[in-house]
Chains A and B, each alone.
Chain A
Amino acid sequence: MRAVFKREIQSFFYTPAAYVFMGVFLAISGVFFIQGNLLARSGDLTQLIAVMGYLWMLLSPVLTMRLMAGERHQKTDQLLFSSPVSLGGIVGGKFLAASAVLLSTVGCTFLYGVIVAFWGKLYVAEVMVSYLGLILLGLSFLALDLFVSCFAKTQMTAVMMGFGANLLLWLSDLAASAAGEGLLKNILHFISLYQRFEPFTQGLLSFSNVLFNLIFVALMLFLSVRVLDARRWSEA
C-alpha cells in the first residue's frame, strides 16, 4: 500500500491533475472569500466552507478519474495485480494519495482563517467543526468517485461517470426537500451527504454524522475492492 500511495502522490504532481484540482479550488474559494468576507467585512467563515463543500462535487472526479480507469486504459493495472499487493492495498493506497491532495488543498485555505483572525474575530471551534465536515464530505466524494472509476475504461468516462454520480447524490438532496413528509423524504435525507454536511457548517458536531461519513467511505472502498476482484473473474 505504501508503494502505491507514494507513486500516486508523485504521479499527481507529475501530471496536471493535482494542479488543476488545487488551482481551481483555491481560485473559486478565493473569489468567494474576497467577496463574502473581505469586501463584506465579515469574519464568518462557515458560509465560505459551505460553498467549498459544493466544489468537491465538481472537482473530486478530476482527482479520481485516473486512479483506476487510467491504470486500466494504460494496462498498467497488470503490474499492480501481478505484484504481491492486496486489492485492498491498491485501493487504499490510491485513496490515501487522493486524500492527501485534498487535505493539502484544504490546508491552503487555512490562510483565510489566518487573515480573518489577524484583522477580525475568528470563531475557532465553529470553523474547526466546519472544516471537519468539509474534509469528511470531500473524502466521501473521493471514495464514491474512486468506486465509480473502477467501472470506467478511460479517464474521460470515469470523469463523466463521477460527475453523474455526484450530481445524482446532489439531486437526491434536492428531491428530499421536495418530497414532503414521509418515508421517502427520510430515506433521501438519510443518504444525502449534503444533509449530513449542513450541521457541520453551523458549528454542530454530531457523532452520527461523522460516523455516517466514515462508514460511507469504508463502504465505497470495500465495494471498489469487490469490483476489481469481480473483474478478474469476468474480464476478457
Chain B
Amino acid sequence: MVIFEGISKRYGVHKALDEVSFTLEKGQVLGLLGQNGAGKSTAMNIMTGCLAPTKGRVLMGGQDVLLSPRAAKRMIGYLPEAAPLYDEMTVQAYLRFACELKEVEKKHIPAHVEMVADKTGLEDVLQRKIGNLSKGYRQRVGVAQALCGTPDVIILDEPTAGLDPRQASELRQLIQSLRGEHTVIFSSHILSEVQSVCDRVLILHHGKVLCDSALEELKNRENKLRAVIACGEGTLMPALRSLEKISHVEVIRGGEPGTTQVLLTVREDGAERELFTLLSALQAPLLRLQAQERSLEEIFLKTTDEIS
C-alpha cells in the first residue's frame, strides 16, 4: 500500500533523511519512533507530498506522490504535528471544506461529515467555531479532517501531543478502531502509546532507519528470563555462565535465604530447555521462571544509545 523507497532529504549540508526505505501492507499500523529531529515529521511531509525528497520516491497504492500527486493524494488523510485548522470556521464548515478538498461527491458530503463527526465524537460541537474549542476537541477535528474522503492511508504526526490522559486514551481507541480498514502511520513520543496502538515499529535516528520490525518480534528480541533457583550462588553462577543460549547472567539481590534469583538474557530459542537440563544435573529445583518482556522504551533507548 505504501512504498517509501530510498528517500533522502537534504537541507543544505544537513541530511534530514538518509536512504530511508520501508513498505507497508494494507491494514497495518506503523509506529514511527525517534527523538526530536530524527526525521519523523520530514518523512511524513514527504509521504504526503508537502515536501519533495532530494532522492527516492514514495508510492501510495502504486501512485507516485510526485509524478501523480492527485491520484496519490486521494488515498491520503494527514494530520500534521500542528493540526491545520481555520479558527474562524465552524467544525461543520471546516469538515465540509475538507470533504470538498478530498473530492467527496457533493450529495454525499452532509452524510459523510456526520459519519466522520460520529466516529471522532464531534457531534455536539459541529456548530461551534474551531477557535473556541479546547485542545482535545481541536485535535479531534484534525483527526476528523484526516478521515474525510475515507482515505486508504492515514498519517498522524504526534496526534496525542498536548492532550490530557483521558483525551489521549480516547484518541488511541479511535486510532485502534481504524486498524484493518485503513493503513495507519503514526508517530509519537510516548512509547507505551506506540506499543498499545501499532503492530509494527520503525525507529529513526539522525535520519536513518535503526530498526524496522514487527512489535512482537522486537519485544521478543533479546528476551529475558527471571528465575528463582533453590541453590547457592557459588555453585550456580559458573554453571549458568557456561550455558550457550544465555548471553548474560545477573544476580538479583534480596531473595529468600537458600535461593538465588537471577535475570538471564536469552541469546537464542531453546534457552529454557538448556536451563532445565542444567538445573536437573545440578539437582537444583527451579522454584519460579518468568519471561521478562522488554518495554518499547527499553528497546528504543538501547537502540538509540548503541548508535550514539
On A, residues with C-beta under 8 Å from B are: 2-4, 6-7, 10-11, 14-15, 74-86, 232-236
Known contacts A7-B97, A84-B69, A85-B101; is-contact A76 B89 (Cβ 8 Å) = no
Using CB atoms, name the residue of chain A closest to B53.
A233
Sample of 17 more A-B contacts, CB < 8 Å, known A86-B69, A232-B52? A2-B100, A3-B97, A3-B100, A4-B101, A7-B86, A10-B89, A11-B89, A78-B48, A78-B50, A82-B73, A82-B76, A84-B73, A84-B74, A232-B51, A233-B51, A235-B51, A236-B11
User: In the bound complex, what is the Cα–Cα distance between A103 and B45 (angstroms)?
Assistant: 37
Using CB atoms, name the residue of chain B closest to A231.
B51
Using CB atoms, name the residue of chain B closest to A235.
B51
* A76→B69 contact, CB < 8 A: no
Closest 8 CB pairs of A and B: A3-B100, A79-B84, A82-B48, A83-B101, A14-B88, A82-B78, A76-B84, A84-B73
Using CB atoms, name the residue of chain B closest to A232.
B52
User: In the bound complex, what is the Cα–Cα distance between A85 and B70 (angstroms)?
Assistant: 7
User: In the bound complex, what is the Cα–Cα distance between A6 and B85 (angstroms)?
Assistant: 16
* A86→B70 contact, CB < 8 A: yes
Which residues of chain A have C-beta atoms less than 8 A from B86's C-beta? 7, 11, 74, 76
Using CB atoms, name the residue of chain A closest to B99.
A3
User: In the bound complex, what is the Cα–Cα distance between A82 and B70 (angstroms)?
Assistant: 9
A203 to chain B, nearest CB (A): 42
Q: Give 10 pairs: A residue, B residue, CB < 8 Å, sorted on A.
A: A2-B100, A7-B86, A14-B89, A74-B86, A78-B80, A79-B101, A82-B80, A85-B101, A233-B52, A235-B51
* A10→B73 contact, CB < 8 A: no
Which residues of chain B have C-beta atoms less than 8 A from A2's C-beta? 100
* A79→B49 contact, CB < 8 A: no
Known contacts A6-B100, A10-B89, A76-B85; is-contact A82 B11 (Cβ 8 Å) = no
User: In the bound complex, what is the Cα–Cα distance between A14 and B73 (angstroms)?
Assistant: 29
Does B28 touch A at the CB level, under 8 Å?
no
A67 to chain B, nearest CB (A): 13
Cβ contact of B70, chosen from A11, A77, A80, A84, cutoff 8 A: A84
User: In the bound complex, what is the Cα–Cα distance between A75 and B157 (angstroms)?
Assistant: 13
User: In the bound complex, what is the Cα–Cα distance between A101 and B138 (angstroms)?
Assistant: 30
User: In the bound complex, what is the Cα–Cα distance between A3 and B11 (angstroms)?
Assistant: 33
Which residues of chain A have C-beta atoms less than 8 A from B73's C-beta? 82-84
On B, residues with C-beta under 8 Å from A are: 11, 16, 45, 48-52, 54, 69-71, 73-74, 76, 78, 80, 82, 84-89, 93, 97-98, 100-103, 145
B36 to chain A, nearest CB (A): 14
Cβ contact of A83, chosen from B45, B51, B71, B102, cutoff 8 A: B102
Which residues of chain B have C-beta atoms less than 8 A from A234's C-beta? 11
Which residues of chain A have C-beta atoms less than 8 A from B85's C-beta? 74, 76
User: In the bound complex, what is the Cα–Cα distance between A78 and B89 (angstroms)?
Assistant: 17
Residue picked from B11, B85, B101, most chain A C-beta under 10 Å: B101
B38 to chain A, nearest CB (A): 14
User: In the bound complex, what is the Cα–Cα distance between A10 and B145 (angstroms)?
Assistant: 19
* B88→A15 contact, CB < 8 A: yes
Which residues of chain A have C-beta atoms less than 8 A from B69's C-beta? 84, 86
Known contacts A6-B100, A84-B102; is-contact A78 B84 (Cβ 8 Å) = yes
Which residues of chain A have C-beta atoms less than 8 A from B49's C-beta? 81-82, 232
* B93→A79 contact, CB < 8 A: no
Residue picked from B88, B97, B102, most chain A C-beta under 10 Å: B97
Residue picked from B54, B73, B84, most chain A C-beta under 10 Å: B84
Which residues of chain A have C-beta atoms less than 8 A from B88's C-beta? 11, 14-15
User: In the bound complex, what is the Cα–Cα distance between A76 and B54 (angstroms)?
Assistant: 24
Which residues of chain B have C-beta atoms less than 8 A from A83's C-beta? 73, 98, 101-102
User: In the bound complex, what is the Cα–Cα distance between A120 and B80 (angstroms)?
Assistant: 61
User: In the bound complex, what is the Cα–Cα distance between A15 and B87 (angstroms)?
Assistant: 10
Which residues of chain B have C-beta atoms less than 8 A from A79's C-beta? 78, 84, 98, 101, 145
* A3→B52 contact, CB < 8 A: no
Which residues of chain A have C-beta atoms less than 8 A from B93's C-beta? 10
Which residues of chain A have C-beta atoms less than 8 A from B103's C-beta? 84
User: In the bound complex, what is the Cα–Cα distance between A2 and B104 (angstroms)?
Assistant: 13
User: In the bound complex, what is the Cα–Cα distance between A234 and B98 (angstroms)?
Assistant: 27
A125 to chain B, nearest CB (A): 41
User: In the bound complex, what is the Cα–Cα distance between A33 and B69 (angstroms)?
Assistant: 51
Which residues of chain B have C-beta atoms less than 8 A from A81's C-beta? 48-50
